[in-house]
Structure 1
């Protein structure tokens, strides 16, 4: 006796995706418009300006040292416990798990892998670009500074730009990027901006980053979000490749997908006279008259409505009534009894 294999959770996920292989029409993919290109260029110029201001030890470096000597964690020590928990919103591990869970549910509901693939592409760009900048410039943090007033560049550090800030911008900003409606995109954009701003200020408060690190982290995260439309063709090809790979694996295991049931052609009713119906029936071959019945009928021979013999119900449909006298005549008078 052959038993069917029990479906796993992954099989049910792909079965859900098979129900609607095409992306829903109401989900728009952001394009690289002129406005977005202008924002990308201006953000890139701001990024380079921050790097140059730190390299030449300009007024921005002096401001970094002034904020560090101010020691915000000592000035407002009552909020230290709250800031310690709030800064977790910028850590890569916890935020990636939370956002991936939400986008996984979105993928389940929308029958597409695009939300998860877009998150993966954004995190990959974040690790490559921000990681390369961190280790390339090698700036030391406030707690490890060696010389007052120095920019602390190329000394083996890894804090420039701020990874917490850039991660907060990308992780929470991807929710706004993948929003289905313009109103949701505006609200999520404002929420992600406030969250990333708070995470950046939290690192300055705790003394783990310079103020210029936070500014560069904001610019780095925003550049990744603005560049995501350039990755959309690659995301679409990756989704197609993953689903095709899934189909090949299932076919090797002998578990091909069941073909969809054929859709019956629509029936068009045309009014015609009896003579036209007789001529059409004479010209129509017998095989065409007895075609395959629709899927909703039980198997067996069926006759068309025109071939059925009309059935007349026996008797009259009108209820029994007493006999009436003809119109215009008076009814027969009853004999009177009694004296």
Structure 2
């Protein structure tokens, strides 16, 4: 298949795309997650038991209790950083776009990251909570003090970035398996931030809820994703037509030496023989493929052939050589001459 044919298939939608509408199950999950999100925010604002638990976990200082795993968790927490994870997942989905000849996976990833930046970023800047390392008053909720850690960006990003792979899975089994892997990864990243002392426990809980809300809301944005995909595909076609030269027609492959041309159909042979007219008997005619055509003749068996017996001498005649059939002349008798 040529490259142009592959590009022409970019408008075709594979049959195994994720659902583009909100099912009843997703509605219940979205409503329950939103209620949890609001409850966490209300609990922190009211300085409830949730804030007390935050301070207890912070004063426990897990990074001092288990220092032997500190180096490993410093690298593990990268699975929640937006830059490295977005590049890795975008590379995988880009290869999938090239294989399926559509831009849907990359557009879904871009839409989810845009939604996460808008929603989580607005919540961070709006509530301005300080992190454990910058806390000023023990037992306080540390709200509206210019911070940006509520909800946890690492946790929410881990939920969305790895959850998109489960959302775009092509079979129910893969979707369930990737959902479990994404959930465990997001849980590990969130607990790692608590271990390192960079987030409160309530930050991690709100980060899980924020990321899950983005994933559950993706079907609402599927029509916009399809519209953007069709526009980008049409734009690419215009640019390809304007800037890329048209492919040259393929020339027929020359016939290899030693191989004859294909034999014409019997009808063509009849037409050629009629056009050439009747040929002389016994003379070879020329067929449509420019090869001499000899009329068929009977063949005899070796035993039926007349034996040929050579007669006479096989030596060629010569002017000075007498034939063997002529009588030889008598040799002259030499006698003595002279007297008696």
State whether TM-score is above 0.5: yes
Question: Which residue of 7, 13, 16 maps to 1:27?
Answer: 16
What CA distance in whole angstroms lies between the structure 2 residues aligned with 1:118 and 1:156? 32
What per-residue deviation string (whole Å, max 9, x for no partner) do you get for residues 150-200 of structure 1? 000001000000000000000000000111111111111000000000000
Q: Is residue 59 of structure 1 aligned with residue 34 of structure 2? A: no
Counterpart for residue 194 of structure 2: 204
Q: Is residue 167 of structure 1 aligned with residue 122 of structure 2? A: no
* Alpha-carbon offset, residue 28 of structure 1: 2.4
Q: Structure 1 residues 234, 75: closer, same or farther in 2, change over 3 A?
A: same
Counterpart for residue 227 of structure 1: 217
* Alpha-carbon offset, residue 128 of structure 1: 0.6
Q: Structure 1 residues 307, 220: closer, same or farther in 2, change over 3 A?
A: same
Contact 2:14/2:100, CA 8 A, preserved across alignment: no
Contact 2:10/2:103, CA 8 A, preserved across alignment: no
Map 1:137-156; keep pairs closer than 5 Å.
137-156=127-146
What CA distance in whole angstroms lies between the structure 2 residues aligned with 1:202 and 1:89? 11
What per-residue deviation string (whole Å, max 9, x for no partner) do you get for residues 198-222 of structure 1? 0000000000000000000000000
Counterpart for residue 183 of structure 1: 173
Counterpart for residue 239 of structure 1: 229
RMSD in angstroms over aligned alpha carbons?
3.2
Question: Which residue of 45, 63, 85 maps to 2:75?
Answer: 85
Q: Is residue 115 of structure 1 aligned with residue 99 of structure 2? A: no
What per-residue deviation string (whole Å, max 9, x for no partner) do you get for residues 10-35 of structure 1? xxx98475142343544223231111
Give unpaired runs (5+ residues) of structure 2.
Answer: 253-263, 272-294, 302-340
What per-residue deviation string (whole Å, max 9, x for no partner) do you get for residues 225-254 of structure 1? 01111111111111111121122223443x
Specify the structure having the higher radius of gyration (Cα). Answer: 2
Q: Structure 1 residues 53, 105: closer, same or farther in 2, change over 3 A?
A: same
TM-score by length of 1: 0.72
TM-score by length of 2: 0.72
